[in-house]
Chains A and B, each alone.
Chain A
Amino acid sequence: MNALFSIVFLLATLLLLFLSPESFLPTLLQGATKSATLCFSLISTYAVWLGLMNVWKDSGVTRVVSRSMQPLAKKLFKTSDPETLDAVCMNMSVNLLGISGAATPYGIKAANLLDKADSAEYSSSMLFVINATSIQLIPTSIIGVRTALHSVAPADIILPTLITTVFSTLLAVALVRLLIPPKPREIQPITATKKVLTRGAGI
């Protein structure tokens, strides 16, 4: 992002220098004004959804969703370690429910646990693509922005979004299974102990 910002900012400013240098500052100020308006409408969107999401958290909906994912996660990540499965499932369900920011701690925990697991390359890649292709059920911030800009049907993007996001996740999962196959069973115990040993030495 740093590179993109620097290059585009410098190029655009250089161009403006020749075209209309007087419009430089007004453009920046207008941008800041627009972003303030946008943030204002985001506050209302988040107020509504973060409220609901906290109710989900407190009433255990997140746990229920997470538990229902255990069988799927067992197959996807080729692991049966309960702690890893729990972190992975919490990460996926929080992503699914769109609880912003909450997915990251579980994701990092899951990434660290999977790194120690058997066939770590396969399962870490799986965790990464599932997170990187997004599986959010309700795109709350987009509906918020669309509503703020007086769309006639702010929610009509839900279905295509859902289809697209499911497609990209399935495609990525299939590609990982195809291109990064999990290691065969018999060499697992050896690699596992080796990893534990090197980890211990590191600490």
Chain B
Amino acid sequence: MNYVFALTVPLLFLGSFIFALVKKVSLYDSFTEGVKGAIPLVVSIFPYIASVTMLSLLLDVSGMESKLVGWLTPAFSFFGVPAEIAPLLFVKPLSGSGAIAVLSDILTKYGVDSYIARCACVAYGSSETIFYIGAVYFAGLKRKKMTLALAIAVFSYLASVVLCCFLCRFM
């Protein structure tokens, strides 16, 4: 299984590059043009990552996090979700770059390949910044009844978290 995934990425590059050459794209120019975007992108998300990392460490050092985990464990374990990923679950619908800061904090704290860390990764990767998207996409429109759509999105998000923690047990 791992070998199949190890093949995916090189094959993806190979396929894309051959297709681009067939389409007469100047490969080097196009690739470097894309790479150019990496630093501005990271610069633009740095403030959020830095602030949320500070917050996340503060939460940890003040002992609030272990209390929070303690309170949430009974409710979370009912659904098979480790309460340690709770901070991530709260931040992700609000801020994508904030969530990546929390995610990296969880990964260092519990070990990258631990069950908790894998749950966190899958929960991060399979969800989106629900409230941010709602605000950006529908800000310009006359107030349609988006509350129901928002509720559906949040419900699907919670259901997917339960599923992902279940899948991570044996995948």
**What residues of chain A have their CB less than 8 Å away from a CB belonging to chain B?**
1, 4-5, 8-9, 11-13, 15-16, 19-20, 23-24, 27-28, 30-32, 34-36, 38-39, 42-44, 46-47, 50-61, 100-101, 104, 107-108, 111-112, 115, 120-121, 124-125, 127-129, 131-134, 136, 138-139, 141-142, 145-146, 149-153, 155-161, 163-165, 167-169, 171-172, 175-176, 179-180
B16 to nearest A CB, angstroms?
6
Distance in angstroms from B40 CB to nearest chain A CB is 10
A179 to B145, CA, bound (A): 12
- Can you name 16 A-B pairs with beta carbons within 8 Å? A27-B57, A28-B57, A43-B38, A44-B38, A50-B38, A51-B31, A107-B133, A124-B141, A128-B138, A134-B128, A139-B125, A145-B103, A151-B113, A155-B5, A156-B171, A167-B159
Q: Which residues of B contact A121 (CB under 8 A)?
A: 144-145
B91 within 8 A of A: yes
**Quick check: A175 and B41 within 8 Å, CB to CB?**
no
Does B13 sit within 8 A of A, measured CB to CB? yes
If the complex has contacts A46-B38, A142-B103, A160-B122, are A124 and B127 also in contact, measured as CB distance less than 8 A? Answer: no
B152-A38 in contact (CB<8A): no
Q: Which residue of chain B lies nearest to A169 when distances are taken between CB atoms in the complex?
A: B156
B38 touches A39 (CB 8 A): no
Known A-B contacts A55-B16, A58-B20; the reply to A164 vs B126 at CB < 8 A is yes
Minimum Cβ distance to chain B for residue A171 (Å): 5
Residue in A5, A15, A46 whose CB lies within 8 Å of B51: A5
Query: Which chain B residue lies CB-closest to A56?
Result: B16
B42's contact among A46, A152, A158, by CB below 8 Å, is which? A46
Contacting residue for B121 out of A42, A43, A142, CB 8 A: A142
A124 and B34 contact, CB distance less than 8 A? no
- Chain B binding surface, main DSSP class: helix
Q: In whole Å, how far is A46's beta carbon from the nearest beta carbon of chain B?
A: 4
B13 to chain A, nearest CB (A): 6
A124–B146 contact, CB under 8 A?
yes
Cα of A2 to Cα of B51 in the assembled complex, Å? 11
State whether A129 touches B140 (Cβ < 8 A): no
Other-chain residue from A46, A55, A128, A146 in contact with B153 (beta carbon distance below 8 A): A128
Set of chain A residues within 8 Å of B11, measured between Cβ atoms? none
B134-169 vs A, CB cutoff 8 Å, 1 = contact: the mask equals 101110111011101110110111011001100110
A-contact bits for B37-68, CB 8 A (1 contact / 0 none): 11101100110011111111111011110000
Is B100's beta carbon under 8 Å from chain A?
Answer: yes
A-B pairs with lowest CB-CB distance, top 10 = A54-B34, A31-B54, A139-B125, A168-B160, A125-B149, A59-B20, A164-B126, A46-B38, A165-B126, A134-B128
